[in-house]
Amino acid sequence: MDLATLTSQLRALGEEALPKIAAAPDLAALDELDVAYLGRKGGALSGLMRGIGQLPAEDRPRVGVAVNEVREAVEGALASARQRTSQAALAARLAAEAMDVTTPGRPIARGSLHPIQETISRIAEIFGQFGFVTYEGPEVESDATNFQMLNIPPDHPARDLWDTMYVDIDGGLLRTHTSPGQIRVMHAEKPPIRALLPGRCFRYEAVDASHASEFFQVEGLMVDEGTSLADLRGLLDEFAHAMFGAGRATRFRPGYYPFTEPSVAFDVGCLVCGGTGCPACGRTGWMTILGAGMVHPVVLQHGGIDPERYQGFAFGMGVERIAMLRHGIGDVRVFLDNDLRFLEQFR
Amino acid sequence: MRIPLGWLRDYVDLDLSPEALAERLTLLGFEVKGLERWGSEWRNVVVGELLTVEKHPRADRLSLTSVHVGAAEPLQIVCGATNIAPGQRVPVALPGAVLPGNRAIERTEKMGVVSNGMLCSGDELRLSVDGEGILILPAGTPLGTALTDLYGDWVLDVDVKPNRGDALCLVGLAREVAAVTGSVARFPEITLREDGPPIGEVLAVGVEDPELCHRFVGRRVSAVRVGPSPEQVQRRLLAAGMRPVSNVVDATNYVMLELGKPTHAFDAGAVARDARGRAALVVRTARPGERLETLDHVERALSPETLLIADENGPLAIAGVMGGAASEVGESTADVIIESAVFDPVSVRRTAFRYALRSEASLRFEKGQESRLAWIGADRVTELIATWAGGSVAAGRIDTAPDEPVPARVGYRPARVDLLLGTRLGPDAQAALLARVGIATEPAPDGSGVVIAAGATPRSVAVAPGEARDAVVPPWRRDLLVEADIAEEVIRIAGYETVTGKTPDTAMPHVRPNPLELRDALRRALAGAGLTEVVTPALVPGSAAATLGWPVLAADGVPGEAAVDGLVVTVTNPLSERHAVLRRGLVGSLLDVLALNERHGRGDVAIFEVGKGYAQAPDGTPAEWWRLAFLVTGSAATPAWNVPARTYDLDDAKGIVDLLARVLAIPDPAWVSHLDGAPLHPGRAARAVAPGTLAGLIGELHPSVLAAWDLRAERVLVAELAISGLSAGQLVPVRVASVGRFQPCERDLALVVPEPLAAADLAATLRAAGGDTLRQVALFDIYRGAPLAAGEKSLAWRVVFAADERALTDDEVDADVARLVSAVASAHGARLRT
Ligand SMILES: [Zn+2]
């Protein structure tokens, strides 16, 4: 073995290996070529290097340079070939994994909250911004708490405003409004009072598209020194704007309740026609959303509050009425029917 | 109340459009609920003149007429009436007209003769109650004019509130209109020609009970001719919603609508005479056993509280409520006695309710009557009867209380009025506003107090000299009693819209816990887990509780949320049997919701409700408590092509309860096998127990319940839970445990145990034996079958050990596991599955 032979064998090895590496189809073939040419034990390059020892000492460094050249060339070729084939493999895998992205996603079950409860929450949230705190009262009340404490004595003609269901408990009845809660809050708290009382009410009333015998109200009460009708107006405007939109027109007009004086009816511009007049608003352009007024001095007294020092207002609204206007619901009966086709629209 | 504008114009000048008037009244507190064009059905009914009236060639009872309606050619019309003659002016319904009752008029052929419309009776047009013949119009009525233009009117439907009985009439509303328009309301002028004998010779009235009959004014008209009222009167009554009866009865109704004064006319011939030959009336309460046939021809047994108008033979009328049949004015009546009284409002209201006879009259008496109207009403009715029915009016009137009451004075402080209203009107502007509704004001005498509360708990406050004024209340106003009433009147006339709103700027109250906080958190968690919230009626059928047999969960282990297992609360006047008692639990209501949705073809239902149960406590007081209930059935996941189908089972229901436990920040509840006392599958029912926080019953409904509810679902999971704080609680803040720096050690133990052993019992033994490094015991598999023997099962547990301050060694954990294995071996005979 002489220098020239070894050098030419090295060149031949490189010329043989590089095209094979370039043509290798996959990583496994490259691994085989790696072992075949560069393997420590049976590799072709190792075989050639065994011949170095037979060369004269002065030739050995030159051969070492040549061997390294070939090794680096093969190693480089292997590395770039490996990168090429792994990219191809990844691309192939990704291609194989392609999905029809237009199919619908996997549904995640989600229920819905009832519009009555959600409307109550919304009302509480709006008044909560003005410091109104929620309270609750019982639904089985008495003639005294539902009527007499609210300045509605027995045989008062105003009783016609509340058709009442009575129960087999002495003096007991199902509250016709959330107003008895006013008295309870006044007994529990000292002014300043800002209270909100949501809850279920009952009336002896034939059920149709706009009347329910069971329904929900939210009562509000504010009592302090100097609390006035102007405060009531300002607060109700804020409420109407929060609930029905900032530009919503509002109207303040006289109402009648024995437990408020002056009494108020509060209207918003018709949510259907915007105020020009339509069947939904009786062609008036207005829709009444709640009743209110300054708490009658007699009621303050029944609540243990000095009407000479304090004054306040109360308001009461039908939750279904608000929800119907807000969501475009035409029939009050849907609320307690619980048809899932209705409820699930609130998901 | 229905207000025909044409009639209202008798009492006040109006230059507002009906719509504008409606709005003004609404803003004045008299809400106009409807605005109706009365008589719009007469648009194609015109005035015609009969040219010829001949016999129909082929029908004896029909006439063939030709009618001139202003057009070039007369119309040929067939008519069945007999009161027609050439030259008369009559209403002609042209083809295309639609008469009241949706009666369409067309060109027809009657017995071979073409009829181009119809001649109308007053009744067919609802212009009068005369249905006998064709309505004969006054001779000068313009030909061809539509009856809508002649007689049509705008009718306002005005909501008069119960405190304003004075405005439940045309004159009263005219006063209000005048207050806003600045015009003057006109009272009807009464002209009486009293050509009969002095009243004292023909009528005597005794009031036995002046507490119930404050005033009685009587008059008498002799030799009347009872018949129909003038047509304009009939039209007005019909437009106002009352049916004309006869000139005498119509006079009383007319005055009731005009002045708000109910009166009654008796046939004097039916009233007993006293020794001096006078018709003698007495006002008294009923005596035991007395009976009266009222105008509606119902014979009524009279209770002793009933105030009557009677004569010596017995009752004639129920005072203020309804007259008697025997003394009813009819065609044969010659002499009429007019009663115009003021009765006690409460007595009339109770009596009307007692006999279920609430009438237009009793409604007005209930609201209180102006005393002065007693004589004015009597005079006005008498005048109208004499005008419409003729006769001779006895001179003077019987009046049992002729002194008019002194006008009431209500003190008020102008500054307080402005403070209550949030306005800056000042005394003069307030006085000017009050003057517009007839309320005079003057400085209050020194030393007089101001009444701020009346009724059962009156309150008067002392005021500084010059601080208060007195409002002199007109006699018709009965609603102005205290200072706040004056404030309302001021702002009502000024217009509520003049109140400038401001957001409250006074001190805020202290923060209070929100009673809905915990309830809302649970509701939101359930909705997030796929359940839909329902709100169902609290009133249920009386039989529902018995049919379902769901026990009332006393929940003593959950403080503050106890229920009462007492009598149901029953509505004594239920609207229907379906809503007769207050429910004691929620599960039956959820079944109703399932049933309804099944009827709509929905089998997959997952719903919950947070609501109240109700019962009577042993002491007879009502008890109410909050519960959370849910129901799941059908597909547990939304059915989709990429979701494996799975139906709800007991484990899902338990998982829902576990979810609630996480919201409550408590450990998962323990499950205790529930054996009986609920309508549940005996092998698939459990009590959930988390002491102090949660208790409830959960399970699969018994098939017999599904059958009784007529449900198609095969398996329905339900639960009703008592949860501490559901009534008014807040969320408990999470207390964070140290996460630990050292890796925990997990070991899996498959334990073979006898089949009857409850997993919970095995877990309890493991936990008890685990020592203080045991962090978690979780079941991850249950296996039955070979190589296990029959009657055996393998429960596989993952147990986790950890210490806060150091890493555990394998030896330590091995020793812990060995202790667990030996504990369950000795307690339950469990062995490791190898
Ligand atoms: Zn509208």
- State what percent of residues in chain B have pLDDT above 90: 82
> Between B421, B511, B575, which is nearest A213 by CB?
B575
Residues B250, B251, B257, B263, CA torsion sign: negative
SS3 B553: coil
Phi, psi of B489 (to 5 degrees): -65, -40
The full DSSP string for B353-403 is HHTT---HHHHHHHT---TTHHHHHHHHHHHHHHHHH--EEPBS-EES--S
> CB distance B34–A282 less than 8 Å?
yes
Q: Where in chain A is CATH 3.30.930.10?
A: 115-346
Q: Note whether B658 and B668 are within 8 A (CB).
A: yes
> CB distance A343–B532 less than 8 Å?
yes
> Between B461, B573, B640, which is nearest A204 by CB?
B573
Rounded to an integer, what distance in angstroms lies between the CA atom of residue A192 and that of residue A169?
35
Interface mutation vs chain A, best among B21, B30, B535, B607, most A CBs within 10 Å: B535
How many cross-chain Cβ pairs, A to B, lie less than 8 Å apart? 296
Q: How far apart are the first and last CA of chain B?
A: 91
What is the reported pLDDT for B747?
94
Phi, psi of B165 (to 5 degrees): -55, -30
Selection from B714, B304, B399 nearest residue B315 by Cα: B304
Distance from CA of B200 to the nearest CA of A (A): 37
Question: Of the spans A11-15, B76-80, B254-258, which averages the highest pLDDT?
Answer: B254-258
What value does the mean pLDDT take over residues A314-321? 97
Cis before residue B787, ω within 30 degrees of 0? yes
- Is the CB of B508 inside 8 Å of chain A's CB atoms? yes
CA of B32 to the centre of ligand 1 (A): 15
Interface of B with A in 237-266 (CB under 8 A): none
For A295, name the nearest residue in chain B, comparing CA atoms only: B484
CA of A127 to the centre of ligand 1 (A): 27
What value does the mean pLDDT take over residues B690-698? 94
Distance from CA of A47 to the nearest CA of B (A): 52
Tokens of B304: 């002793």
Contacts of B24 in chain A (CB under 8 A): none
Confidence band, pLDDT 50/70/90 cuts, at residue A9: confident
> CB distance B516–A229 less than 8 Å?
no
How much helix, strand and coil, in percent to the nearest 5, is found in chain A?
Answer: 45, 20, 35
Contacts of B574 in chain A (CB under 8 A): 165
For A106, name the nearest residue in chain B, comparing CA atoms only: B642
> CB distance B509–A131 less than 8 Å?
yes
**Higher pLDDT pick, A191 / A47:** A191
List of residues 6+ apart from A260 with CB closer than 8 A: A292, A293, A294, A295, A296, A299, A313, A314
What is the reported pLDDT for A1?
66
> Between B346, B420, B537, which is nearest A228 by CB?
B420
CA of A324 to the centre of ligand 1 (A): 14
Which residue ranges form the domains of chain B, and what is each CATH number? 2-39+154-181 (3.30.56.10), 43-151 (2.40.50.140), 199-399 (3.50.40.10), 409-498 (3.30.56.10), 517-723 (3.30.930.10), 745-832 (3.30.70.380)
What value does the mean pLDDT take over residues A60-82? 87
DSSP state of B121: B
pLDDT tens-digit map of A82-105: 999 999 889 999 999 999 999 999
Contacts of A264 in chain B (CB under 8 A): 496
CA of A161 to the centre of ligand 1 (A): 26
> CB distance B569–A158 less than 8 Å?
no
Contacts of B22 in chain A (CB under 8 A): 284
- Is the CB of B20 inside 8 Å of chain A's CB atoms? no
Selection from B730, B666, B658, B718 nearest residue B693 by Cα: B666
Interface mutation vs chain A, best among B347, B364, B499, B591, most A CBs within 10 Å: B499
> Between B484, B527, B572, which is nearest A297 by CB?
B484
Residue B434 pLDDT greater than 70, yes or no: yes
pLDDT tens-digit map of B304-358: 999 999 999 999 999 999 999 999 999 999 999 999 999 999 999 999 999 999 9
pLDDT tens-digit map of B385-416: 999 999 999 999 999 999 999 999 999 999 99
Distance from CA of B535 to the nearest CA of A (A): 6
- The average confidence (pLDDT) of chain B is 93
pTM: predicted TM-score of the whole model, two decimal places: 0.89
Q: Note whether B290 and B314 are within 8 A (CB).
A: yes
The full DSSP string for B71-84 is SSSPEEEEE--SS-
- State what percent of residues in chain B have pLDDT above 70: 100
Confidence band, pLDDT 50/70/90 cuts, at residue B149: confident
The full DSSP string for A64-107 is HHHHHHHHHHHHHHHHHHHHHHHHHHHHHHHHHT---TTSPPPP
Distance from CA of B505 to the nearest CA of A (A): 8
The full DSSP string for A25-39 is -SHHHHHHHHHHHH-
Confidence band, pLDDT 50/70/90 cuts, at residue B546: low
Tokens of B307: 């105030």
Q: Note whether B185 and B269 are within 8 A (CB).
A: no
> CB distance A335–B419 less than 8 Å?
no
What value does the mean pLDDT take over residues B724-729? 94
**Higher pLDDT pick, B430 / A41:** B430
What value does the mean pLDDT take over residues B127-153? 87
Lowest mean pLDDT among A32-36, B251-255, B795-799: A32-36
Contacts of A263 in chain B (CB under 8 A): 488
Query: Domain A115-346 is of which CATH architecture?
Result: 2-Layer Sandwich (3.30)
Cis before residue A254, ω within 30 degrees of 0? no
CA of A274 to the centre of ligand 1 (A): 6
> Between B499, B501, B569, which is nearest A168 by CB?
B569
Interface mutation vs chain B, best among A338, A342, A346, most B CBs within 10 Å: A338
> CB distance B349–A265 less than 8 Å?
no
SS3 B47: strand
Rounded to an integer, what distance in angstroms lies between the CA atom of residue B831 and that of residue B834?
9
B173-176 contact pairs (CB < 8 A, 24+): B173/B1, B173/B3, B173/B8, B173/B25, B173/B30, B174/B8, B174/B11, B174/B12, B175/B12, B175/B437, B175/B438, B176/B25, B176/B28, B176/B30, B176/B437
What value does the mean pLDDT take over residues A320-343? 95
Interface mutation vs chain B, best among A150, A162, A168, most B CBs within 10 Å: A168
Selection from A103, A153, A87 nearest residue B642 by Cα: A103
What Cα–Cα distance (Å) separates residue A147 from each residue in A46, A158, B533, B766? 109, 10, 33, 61
What value does the mean pLDDT take over residues B208-220? 97
> Between A136, A233, A308, which is nearest B728 by CB?
A136
The full DSSP string for A236-285 is HHHHHHHHH-TT--EEEEE---TTEEEEEEEEEE-TTTTTS--GGGTTSS
CA of B244 to the centre of ligand 1 (A): 37
In B60-197, which ranges are continuous DSSP H helix?
A: 122-125, 147-151, 170-181
CA of A286 to the centre of ligand 1 (A): 7
For A136, name the nearest residue in chain B, comparing CA atoms only: B515
What is the reported pLDDT for B157?
96
Q: Bridge-partner residues for B624, per DSSP?
A: B614
Q: Note whether A85 and A304 are within 8 A (CB).
A: no
- Is the CB of B660 inside 8 Å of chain A's CB atoms? no
> CB distance B573–A343 less than 8 Å?
no
Residues B368, B371, B376, B381, CA torsion sign: positive
CA of A323 to the centre of ligand 1 (A): 17
What value does the mean pLDDT take over residues B151-169? 94
Distance from CA of A91 to the nearest CA of B (A): 26
Cis before residue A192, ω within 30 degrees of 0? yes
Selection from A252, A119, A294, A216 nearest residue B611 by Cα: A216
Tokens of A158: 């105003």
Q: Which residue has the tokens 């709640």?
A: A290
Confidence band, pLDDT 50/70/90 cuts, at residue B676: confident
CA of A287 to the centre of ligand 1 (A): 8
CA of B502 to the centre of ligand 1 (A): 27
Q: Going by DSSP bridges, is the β-strand pair A311-318/A286-295 parallel, antiparallel, or unpaired?
A: antiparallel
Contacts of B367 in chain A (CB under 8 A): 157
Distance from CA of A89 to the nearest CA of B (A): 29
> CB distance B530–A297 less than 8 Å?
no
**Helices and strands in chain B, H and E counts:** 21, 42
What is the reported pLDDT for B140?
82
Residue A5 pLDDT greater than 90, yes or no: no
Return the exposure string of A275-294: e unless at least 16 CB atoms fall within 10 Å of the residue's CB, then b: bebeeebbbbbbbbbbbbbb
The greatest distance separating any two alpha carbons of chain A, rounded to the nearest whole angstrom, comes to 135
Give the dihedral of Cα atoms B571, B572, B574, B579; nearest 10 deg. 30
What is the reported pLDDT for B476?
95
Contacts of B502 in chain A (CB under 8 A): 230-231, 233-234
Rounded to an integer, what distance in angstroms lies between the CA atom of residue A225 and that of residue A290?
24
Tokens of B151: 């007689």
Contacts of A193 in chain B (CB under 8 A): 509
Q: Please give the ipTM for the structure prediction.
A: 0.90
Confidence band, pLDDT 50/70/90 cuts, at residue B40: confident
